[in-house]
Amino acid sequence: MTKYSYPLDVSAINEILPHREPFLMLDEVVACTPHESVTAIKYVSADEPHFAGHFPGNPVMPGVLIIEAMAQAGGVLSHISNGDLFPKPLYFLARVEDARFRRPVVPGERLLIHVDADKVKRGMWWYRCEARVDDEVVASAMIICAPGETG
């Protein structure tokens, strides 16, 4: 199993995940316990392209992108847990359950994402996810990802 030294920066995350700008939603991975949990950070910046239209004069991070950030953190957990498995599986979002958004996330905030592995079955991962700004929970969901083939 590959060893990592935390925090992981964007270049290290790019070695783990296939996502790239502008769709990479993680800036740092601050901790990971394989098969158990991961904690990551997304620095919400005013220059992100979605803020131009969501919403002009009142920028709010789209909830779907918060879900995506939590799913990407889960992807980091899955990849680190699988170590040097070759070929490296590509995980796809299969389902989102019980998503809750408690308040808007705006530019200048730091989104702290914590993901716990709930279970793994037939290569599918169930993640219990929570996103916080400071000590306040802003979003939570159960996210299920499945390994898949690329075309």
Report which secondary-structure segment, H or E, holds 93. strand 90-101
- Cβ–Cβ < 8 Å for 42, 111: yes
Q: Which of 50, 54, 79, 114 is catalytic?
A: 54
* Three-state DSSP class for residue 27: coil
Q: What residues form DSSP beta bridges with 124?
A: 121
Q: Is 122 left (phi over 0), alpha (psi -120 to 50) or beta?
A: left
**104 secondary structure, DSSP code:** -
Q: Would residue 54 show up in a list of annotated catalytic residues for this protein?
A: yes
Phi and psi for 92 in degrees, rounded to 5? Answer: -115, 145
Which residues are marked as active site? 54
